[in-house]
Structure 1
Amino acid sequence: MAYTDAIPWDQPATMIDLDGKVPIIGTIRDCALHFPLYKPEAQAKARVLLTQPIHREGRATRTWLLEPSEIAELTERLVRETN
């Protein structure tokens, strides 16, 4: 089980990219739905800012930011749970 599995779908979150496009302000579910629509270059620069930090394996502190690979995990989880 990935640690992103513990993030509730209704948790407020903001997805940003590092190119300065308008952020997506919504829920984790909204971010997971929109991530696959991004071009690969935008996916590589995307980040999700959480409203509640999560613990990462091997880190002493919790994190407020999800990296592209973690956003992809959320997208895969959404597909699994909706099929």
Structure 2
Amino acid sequence: MSPIDWDQPATMIDLDGKAPLIGTIRLCAQHFAIFKAEAKTQARVLLTQPVHREGRRTRTWLLEPFEIQALVDRLHAEG
């Protein structure tokens, strides 16, 4: 996945139907980090700019839980 700017607008959605979180990638990653395991499996992030995924011909607008976790890991690594 290509790097995503922390200040890019994004929306975190929940497949269980809870209210979405509208903010930035950073805010979505911060919230995802405090979710319980079950809530993490239901979370997705809708991007305002699609990103390229290695091995795919097209860009995507939606981040899966493992991709959101990668953002959390990046956030922690950057401090």
**1:44 deviation in Å?**
0.5
Corresponding residue for residue 5 of structure 2? 8
Q: Which has the higher helix share?
A: 1
C-alpha separation between the residues in 1 aligned to 2:25 and 2:10?
6
Q: For structure 1, list consecutive stretches of 5 or more residues without a partner in the other structure.
A: none
C-alpha separation between the residues in 1 aligned to 2:48 and 2:69?
19
Output the aligned Cα RMSD. 0.8
- The percentage of aligned residue pairs carrying the same residue is 68
Q: For structure 2, list consecutive stretches of 5 or more residues without a partner in the other structure.
A: none
Give the number of aligned pairs: 79
C-alpha separation between the residues in 2 aligned to 1:19 and 1:38?
14
Structure 2-normalised TM-score? 0.96
C-alpha separation between the residues in 1 aligned to 2:18 and 2:37?
15
Pairing of 1:33-72 with structure 2 (within 5 A): 33-72=30-69
